[in-house]
Amino acid sequence: MTDNKQKTIRFLDLFAGAGGLSEGFIRAGFTPVAHVEADKAACFTLKTRAAYHWLKNSGRLDRYNAYLHGSITRGELYELVPKKQILSVINSEIREDSLAEIFGEIDILLRGEKVDLIIGGPPCQAYSLAGRARDKNGMKGDKRNYLYVYYAEFLRRYKPKYFLFENVMGLLSAKDENCALYLSTMKKLFKEQGYETAEKIISANDYGVLQKRKRVILFGNREGKTGFFPMPEEWKPGINVEEILKDLPFLKAGTGSVSPHKLKIYSGNYLYDAGIRNGNERVTLHIARPHNVQDLEIYRIAVKKWNEHRHRLYYHDLPDNLKTHKNQTSFTDRFKVVAADLPVSHTVVAHIAKDGHYYIHPDIDQNRSITPREAARMQTFPDDYFFESASENTGRSAAFRQIGNAVPVLLAQKIAEKLWETW
């Protein structure tokens, strides 16, 4: 990792989610000023992670681990760190009537310092192909389509040297009511704020993430550089999906715990090289949901189809008595098999809390859907990253939603490291 003592580069994270993008930039040496996020549960996750980083830098990780083990409450954890760390997470929806208040909170945190970089991407549902397919109006007129306008307001106010705008592949084809491409419109708006822009399609599995996940990255600079893009160097570790899951404790359906589990012995390199296994020999949120008879029958069909033909199960292939979802026109591949012997898995998505992502191990039949920790590892979150809920009672659904919506940490880190070199 780059020595971040050489320089301080401050960034804002807008539409921050659970902080996957931010975590990658922190690893590369960048310093967060504030995270702005509307979801309450994700904000608690960001606060807990801010507490983690401060305690780690202060040599007091024992207090963070005490929280994970339930020895202290979330509120007591937050009391251990400077108030500024907790206030740096701004729980607010970014909209026209909230901008002034958000700007005010950020200005207090800056204390006269400048913002060097803005990162983040608005919620993807409005631009995604799946979202458009599900909505009778193709998401046209949805207010989330226009959140980039407020992103531009942050550029106008803070004038960072660079910005990074991330979103799904559907952004390339999404159009407004006048059939104008949103991407073209937003690039024109960013140009008006003084930014030259360039976009690239980035495949996460080209950078050490064992997952099929493509994202559009729009990069902007105020230096007048046309075509400038900090393209990261590829890293393909040459391993299979089994590598990211094989040291996790064995679980049956309905077993496991939110509290720390002890990991099995691991003799490989990838989990360390990717920053997933980082010295903490225990993992949280390794808990499998219970399954009813219908779930198990669907899994049986999905696994049989995969083992015999290497084909995914589509919802319309199921017998009518097993079709209980009202929506049968999109997310038809909702019951997916995470095959351990492949170099990449399918894309981890937010709705896995409800759907069956069955993990096939070549030696052990665990007969269950994946856990939040397994999903987090597929997204390259480190094992000590804890996903909160809006209440003190952490649930799987809140964790899955945050994990599925996140940018893989390792992908963000690779981009950030390349950008750091140019500063």
Q: How far is CA 313 from CA 213, 292, 301, 304, 335, in A?
A: 19, 19, 8, 9, 6
Q: Which of 51, 124, 349, 412 is catalytic?
A: 124
Q: Using an 8 Å Cβ cutoff, are 8 and 31 in contact?
A: yes
Q: Are 36 and 12 in contact (CB under 8 A)?
A: yes
Q: Which residues pair with 257 in a beta bridge?
A: 286
Is residue 43 annotated as a catalytic residue, yes or no? Answer: no
How long a stretch of residues is the chain? 423
Phi, psi of 147 (to 5 degrees): -65, -20
Residue type, 313: L
Q: Which two tokens stand for residue 320?
A: 């009518």
Residues 6+ apart with CB under 8 A from 262: 249, 281, 282
Q: Quote the CA–CA distance of 9 and 29 in Å, as a whole number.
A: 8
Other beta carbons within 10 Å of 213: 23
Those residues whose C-beta lies under 8 Å from the C-beta of residue 407, and which sit 6 or more positions away, are 17, 20, 21, 24, 121, 166, 215
Report, as residue numbers or ranges, the catalytic residues. 124
